[in-house]
Amino acid sequence: MSERLSIAIAQIAPTVGDIAGNLDKIRTARAEAARGGADLAVFCELVVCGYPPEDLVRKPAFQRACRAAVEELAKATADGGPAMIVGAPWRDGEGLYNAAFLLDAGEIKAVRYKVRLPNYGVFDEPRVFTPGSDFPAPVPFRGASLGLMICEDMWIEGAGESLAAAGADFFIVPHGSPFRTSALEERAAAARGRARATGLPLMFVNQLAGQDEVLFEGAAFVMDGDGEIRFRAPQFEPGVFLTRWEKQANSWRCVEGPDAIWVRGEEMIYRAVVLGVRDYIEKNHFPGVVIGLSGGVDSALTAAIAVDALGPGRVRCVMMPSRYTARESLEDAADCAKRLGVSYETIPIEPAVAAFSSMLAPAFDALAPDTTEENIQSRIRGVILMALSNKFGLMVLTTGNKSEMSVGYATLYGDMNGGYNPLKDIYKLDVYRLCHWRNARRPEGLMGPAGAVIPERVIAKPPSAELRAGQRDEDSLPPYAVLDPILERLVEKEMAVRDIVAEGFDEATVRRIEHLLYVAEYKRRQAPPGPKVTAVNFGRDRRYPITNGWRDRG
């Protein structure tokens, strides 16, 4: 005779601080779980307030609102429907905890506190939370003993053994695990360590949301006691996914669940960035976006991402030509806008350039033109985009990629003007890869047209800012095939100069790039946020001083 449980994975997208809206999403998901016959619905870490709440969670009024919300959800379970595991901040005496709750039969049946508070990368939880003292006992639930581990606790060696020794039948892990290209493997490895050490199954439930720079792609899973993932919820898609559990020969196992296929490579990165753009625009209540469409590859990819996130009707593109804008750029920008189906207009900047030249002539006193005049053009374009933003309420999307932002190849108050940068954590070579990928396919759920939305000539031509006659990016920078690998070693891997040189790179080039990386820090501090994709992004991950006399002399 077997015992059975039906447990719903509730993969929803909470908004940080929107407690009332999050409660509505929780109730809706619970109702769907009830229709599927679930006994229990499991939600992600801190689902009541959204994750990460940062210093918002330190406000006493916010803490009280979260407590009231948990108590309200507990009362809702008195209707005989599914129990819930939810997460919320919880004040207990002098401590403020990252907590998970079992809510059932109208009551808070159990409270468990997160033990390991991460303090690396995008995380700084010790700043706001108190750690749980140790792993408490498993939580009894309808014939099963649930071993609750909150997010980072799954990474603790011995955590699973401690819960198993106390009688846990399987593990449930509410998570707020950010997206990065290596995340699927890293999560699976940590879960595998707990499963194989104990022989117990594990359910991983992750948040699904874009929250400023941090993305959460869902991708919940159930792993068996051998460390193999048996069931997968989709990436980037909300939903309530039922799993069926049976107890046979004194052991619980999951016998049924979702069978999504996880995507990798360019599709994974592209869909993550689309999620980030969509949530940033929607959650901040902008009607749409405006983009400076130059005829170059970065602005074309940014426009495609925006259309896939929001639909063509919410994307406005503007070409702002100068005397240095090539005819091909004008043609390519118009062609790209037509393929994407967006609003498109041309606003020449020459009248403003002439006005500034006249205004500044006495101050410059016949000095030779240099980057000053180039930057004025970029800043004029920034003024135009911000004017359209102010007049129509649209958010400006900037278009600088990670290669450019790394070395400061961008104009402060010019092409850096804007509210969000989709390409901020994407190197130039990856920009090209994403363009080729998007031209070849469009996944379901995206709002843009199918087919080659980025003209091939845009991808093929040498990149240029077109701020002076005959300008090319490689006039100022090494070829991107050289630059990007050096940057990856300096930024993501924190490698020493001599170790990079030992891999075959020119020493003078490496030292020049290191210098540019450091001196551009002040620009990055004033840059708009953008979605984290790589292991180390500029902003929450990499926090370097602006005033910095260090150079690697080894």
Catalytic (active-site) positions = 45, 114, 151
3-state helix, strand, coil in the chain (%, to 5): 40, 20, 40
Provide the sign of the torsion angle of the four alpha carbons 51, 197, 219, 289, taken in this order. Answer: positive
Residue owning tokens 């090494």: 478
Query: Which amino acid is it at 337?
Result: A
Assess contact for 51 and 44: CB atoms under 8 A.
yes
Q: List the structure tokens of 288.
A: 């749409």
Of the candidates 275, 320, 284, the residue with the CA atom closest to the CA atom of residue 11: 275
Q: H-type helices in 159-203, by residue range?
A: 159-165, 183-198
Q: Encode 119-154 in three state secondary structure.
A: CCCCCCHHHCCCCCCCCCCCEEECCEEEEECCHHHH
Beta strand 221-223 with 170-175 is unpaired
Of the candidates 305, 230, 293, the residue with the CA atom closest to the CA atom of residue 458: 293
**Residues in contact with 457: Cβ distance below 8 Å, sequence separation at least 6, in sequence order:** 328, 332
Assess contact for 487 and 517: CB atoms under 8 A.
yes
Beta strand 3-11 with 239-248 is antiparallel
| Torsion angle of C-alpha atoms 330, 333, 336, 337, degrees rounded to 10 | -110
Other Cβ atoms less than 10 A from the Cβ of 311: the count is 16
Specify the 3-state DSSP secondary structure of 334: helix
Q: List the structure tokens of 280.
A: 């940033």
Assess contact for 173 and 204: CB atoms under 8 A.
yes
Q: List the structure tokens of 375.
A: 């930057």
Assess contact for 214 and 540: CB atoms under 8 A.
yes
What's phi and psi for 102, nearest 5 deg?
Answer: -100, 120
CA distance 106 to 98: 22
